[in-house]
Amino acid sequence: MNKTELIDHIAQEADISKATVQRALEAVIDGVSTTLKKDGTVTLVGFGTFAVGKRTARTGRNPRTDAEIKIEAAKVPKFRPGKALKDALNWLTG
């Protein structure tokens, strides 16, 4: 499902306009992004938690030339699913 399909789905399920859904979804995405930029976390109980992880600097290898390259440290977004989401995905096996 892409963003447009998600907007369509929410608009249909909530019986509201696509324009309203798009503004709301953009606000949610912006809120999550802003919080992560400040090294915060966003927890949606039952769905999951968005957080910032850190990757340390390391040495890699260019697969074309086999030369060593230096990979800088970086912050990366992480998502940890909540129990309700895990249970929804595994309801047949439970």
Give the global pTM.
Answer: 0.79
94, pLDDT greater than 60:
no
* Confidence class for position 90, pLDDT limits 50, 70, 90: confident
Domain residue spans of the chain: 3-89
Contacts of 1 (CB under 8 A, 6+ apart): 9
Query: Of 77 and 90, which is predicted with more confidence?
Result: 77
**pLDDT computed for residue 33 by the predictor:** 97
Task: Tell me the CATH number for domain 3-89.
Answer: 4.10.520.10
pLDDT digits (tens, 9 = 90+) for 16-59: 999 999 999 999 999 999 999 999 999 999 999 999 999 999 99
* Confidence class for position 91, pLDDT limits 50, 70, 90: confident
Other C-beta atoms lying within 10 Å of the C-beta of residue 21: 19
